[in-house]
Structure formats: C-alpha cells, structure tokens
Amino acid sequence: MLFGEENFKKLQTSKILILGVGGVGSYALDCLYRSGVGDITILDFDVYDETNQNRQIGSEAVGAVKVERLKDLYPEITTVNQRMDMAWVEAFDFDPYDLVIDAADTTKVKIEVAKKCYKKLIMALGSAKRYDASKVEVASIWKTYGDALARKIRNELKKAKFDRNFTVVFSPEDDKCKEKGSCVAVTGTVGLTVCSEVIKRIIT
C-alpha cells in the first residue's frame, strides 16, 4: 500500500471541504476521492455550460447543476448547492473540517475565507491564460510572484493588517492571451497539486 495502513486510515477519516468544483476543484476532488479520503464536502452554485467542457470533470452534462452531477460520479461525497458571497463566509462554520480547499473564483470571498480559516487552508490562485503546467508552484501567499490574483490578495490582506500565513498553489507564467481562456493542462495540474498538498498535510 502506497501510504501505509496507518496513513491510509488518516485519509479515510479526514474531513475535507472544497469550495468551487470547476477546472481546479473538480480535479482536486477526483484526486482526493481516488486516494481514499473518506469525507469530502463540495460547495458550488454553478451549472455546466459548453465553455466548461475543455477543463471541468463532469461538464459533458451541459445544463446540470455541478454538485449534483459530481454526486453521481462520486457518490460518497457530501454536496452543498450554495452561492459563495461575503454573507455566506461570515455565517459558515469551517470548524468541522480538517482542511479547506479554496478553488473559488471571487477575490473578496477568497480573502475572507483566508481570514477565517487560514490555519487549515490551501488556496488555488490564477490558472487561466496559461498552458505551461511545469510553472505551477506551491508557496506561502507572502512568497508568491508573477500572479496578479496573488498580488491583489496580498495587498488587500496588508490593508486589513492581516499577516498570517497560508499555503497557495499558483503559477507565475505570463498570460498567453488577452481574452479569457483556460487550458486543462494547467487547471488540472493546479487541482492535482492541491490534492497532493492535502495528502501531505494529512499524513505528515
């Protein structure tokens, strides 16, 4: 057994929350599920459309609610069909979860989630407009570079006088297009890297 019996039991009993199950979050979910993590909750409010099909697991079901479709594919997960906004962050109880994966799209939400549960947080940052998966890195939010979203989050946290540390997965690769566009090689790599960081955190 790859992880060993004791570590595998840790995975089976860990409680993980994934915020957002798009191009990054769906790959993190697949990786954690296949690795034996026994208690996974996913939270999203979106439905699939044709533009998701190049990068999101389950997106062949155009028009389907994402969390419902993923429940069909991964029957043992818990799903929450919920819009993530500031009021939700303030009201939501993160305490029951061992780790929180932030794969959400909204910057303000990401910042507030970080303030509320930084000790157990692994945050995915910008992965659009890139195609070189080898550029993906793991670092403290304060050690990131070359990522506009990371810079914005750092600046907002500094304004709020928040100086605590948390782990992020990011890419410093320059944008490869002006229009909005994503490549599954990068979004998938970010999701799988997030999964790897979760596993390491659980078993070490």
* The pLDDT of residue 34: 96
Q: Tens place of pLDDT for every residue, the chain, 204 residues?
A: 577 889 999 999 999 999 999 999 999 999 999 999 999 999 999 999 998 888 889 999 999 999 999 999 999 999 999 999 999 999 999 999 999 999 999 999 999 999 999 999 999 998 877 888 999 999 999 999 999 999 999 999 999 999 999 999 999 988 877 777 888 899 999 999 999 999 999 998
* The pLDDT of residue 100: 98
Token pair, residue 115, equals 């303030």
* The pLDDT of residue 4: 85
Asked: is 5-203 a CATH 3.40.50.300 domain? The reply is: no
The ranges assigned to domains in the chain are: 5-203
- What does the DSSP assignment read for the chain? --S-HHHHHHHHH-EEEEE--STTHHHHHHHHHHTT--EEEEEE--B--GGGTTT-TTTTSTTSBHHHHHHHHSTTSEEEE----HHHHHH---TT-SEEEE--S-HHHHHHHHHHHGGGEEEE---TT---GGG-EEEEGGG--S-HHHHHHHHHHHHTT-----EEEE--PPPS-SS----HHHHHHHHHHHHHHHHHHHH-
* The pLDDT of residue 1: 59
Q: Compute the distance between CA of residue 111 and CA of residue 158 in angstroms, rounded to an integer.
A: 11
Q: Compute the distance between CA of residue 129 and CA of residue 171 in angstroms, rounded to an integer.
A: 11
Q: Please, what is the end-to-end C-alpha distance for the chain in angstroms?
A: 16
Q: Compute the distance between CA of residue 100 and CA of residue 37 in angstroms, rounded to an integer.
A: 13
